[in-house]
Amino acid sequence: MSGWFEETLHPDIGQRFRMERVLYRDRTGLQDLVIFENRVLGRVMALDGVIQTAEGDEFIYHEMLAHVPILAHGRVRRVLIVGGGDGGMLRRCLEHPSVERVTMVEIDRGVVDLSREYLPSISAGAFDDPRTELVIADGCRYVAETADRSDGDRFDVVIVDSTDPHGPGAVLFTSAFYADCKRCLAPGGVLVTQNGVPFLQPDELTQTWRRRKALFADSSFFMAPVPSYYGGFMAFGWASDDEGLRALAAADIAPRMAAAGLRPRYYTPEIHAGSFALPQYVLSLMA
């Protein structure tokens, strides 16, 4: 049965997607989840009225949020993903042979199970990789408990692949959460986050920057255009105490990419370096 899915993220502007066929629609216990087919984007998943991922363009989002921090760091062995129930971020992290373990903490088991059933091309078997540790838990609590343990695990990269700051994802945009993430990082580690579309969500970017610049020596953003996320370029948050990592040139990244044997569809060393060049309207939000 066809119809239209109308996104409800922004109160004054929006987008809609033709649903050629609804594959699943119900509540997972925590969120309203719908998966439908669209002629342009393939299979699409939305949570609580907001598009989360689509087969057609997920590679842009996942490649950028995974490859940029991992290749900038250069020595990543352990990665923590908070959220990311569709498995796309997990898949891209595991494409790096240097990565020995990826711990993925997802609050909603239903998102994982339904993504594996209806969106298998996005995770592409990543959940079955022996390097994967899947934890069904509150990501905020997991990070806090890990940070508070004297013998707690430390990660080279922490990736927050969350929803926008409403519903279950709201706590993942707080100063306390960012402080816990920092304590989970090994020396020289990198924290990256999903930070929305700054043209339509400017306050989200400003608040994130202010909260993190008080915690990290280097706090900024990098950007990429993801067609299914309406409003122009999407921002990804960047935070590290190693101020040199963000300044690496394409020539520094290229041999690392070659050594990893990556074959991305969007990411290139040149895009890596250029993604940190922010337009003036974004810089103004960081003033």
pLDDT tens, position by position, 191-241: 999 999 999 999 999 999 999 999 999 999 999 999 999 999 999 999 999
pLDDT of residue 117: 98
pLDDT digits (tens, 9 = 90+) for 115-160: 999 999 999 999 999 999 999 999 999 999 987 766 567 999 999 9
Is it the case that residue 169 has pLDDT exceeding 80?
Answer: no
Average model confidence (pLDDT) for the chain? Answer: 94
Is the separation of the CB atoms in 153 and 38 below 8 Å? no
What kind and span of H or E run contains 122?
helix 120-123
User: What is the C-alpha separation between 212 and 207, in angstroms, rounded?
Assistant: 9
What kind and span of H or E run contains 18?
strand 16-19
User: What is the C-alpha separation between 115 and 65, in angstroms, rounded?
Assistant: 19
pLDDT of residue 97: 98
**Mean pLDDT along residues 79-101:** 98
pLDDT digits (tens, 9 = 90+) for 32-53: 999 999 999 999 999 999 999 9
Is the separation of the CB atoms in 233 and 198 below 8 Å? yes
pLDDT of residue 31: 86
What structural domains and CATH numbers belong to the chain? 3-54 (2.30.140.10), 58-285 (3.40.50.150)
User: What is the C-alpha separation between 264 and 63, in angstroms, rounded?
Assistant: 7
pLDDT of residue 166: 66
Q: 219: helix, coil or strand?
A: strand
Q: Which residues are catalytic?
A: 161
Is the separation of the CB atoms in 190 and 237 below 8 Å? no
CA 2 to each of CA 9, 19, 144, 147, 238: distance values in angstroms, whole numbers, following the listed order: 22, 5, 44, 47, 40
User: What is the C-alpha separation between 32 and 45, in angstroms, rounded?
Assistant: 11
Bridge partners, residue 149, by sequence: none
Reported as a pLDDT band with limits 50, 70 and 90, residue 167 is low
What number of residues does the chain have?
A: 287
pLDDT of residue 152: 62
The residue written with tokens 């337009």 in the block is 279
User: What is the C-alpha separation between 263 and 248, in angstroms, rounded?
Assistant: 20
Six token digits for residue 201: 């969500």
Terminal-to-terminal C-alpha distance of the chain: 49
**Mean pLDDT along residues 59-66:** 98
Q: 175-184 and 139-148 are packed helices; what angle lies between their axes, rounded to 10 degrees?
A: 50
Is the separation of the CB atoms in 107 and 139 below 8 Å? yes
160 phi, psi to nearest 5 deg: -105, 100
Is the separation of the CB atoms in 158 and 84 below 8 Å? no
Q: 141: helix, coil or strand?
A: helix
Is it the case that residue 164 has pLDDT exceeding 80?
Answer: no
Q: How far is CA 93 from the centre of its chain?
A: 11
